[in-house]
Amino acid sequence: MIAETTARGRVLKPANGKEKLMADTLQVDPPSSVSELPESRQAAWAQSMAMYQETAAQLDTMRIEVAKLKSDISGYKVALDAKDSIMADLESKVQTMQMVRDEAVAHRAKWEALFISVQAQLRAFQVPAAPFVKLHEETGDVEISQ
**Residue 12 — pLDDT band, cuts 50, 70, 90?**
very low
Q: Which is more confidently placed, 47 or 134? A: 47
Q: How many CB atoms lie within 10 A of CB 30?
A: 13
Average pLDDT, the chain: 81
137 assigned to some structural domain: no
Are 5 and 11 spatial neighbours (Cβ–Cβ below 8 Å)? Answer: yes
115: domain range?
A: 4-26+39-125
135 assigned to some structural domain: no
Helix (H) or strand (E) holding 22: none
146 assigned to some structural domain: no
61 assigned to some structural domain: yes
Are 26 and 53 spatial neighbours (Cβ–Cβ below 8 Å)? Answer: yes
Q: How many CB atoms lie within 10 A of CB 29?
A: 6
Count structural domains, the chain.
1
142 assigned to some structural domain: no
Specify the pTM.
0.47
65 assigned to some structural domain: yes
14 assigned to some structural domain: yes
Are 7 and 15 spatial neighbours (Cβ–Cβ below 8 Å)? Answer: no
pLDDT tens digits for range 83-129: 999 999 999 999 999 999 999 999 999 999 999 999 999 889 987 77
106 assigned to some structural domain: yes
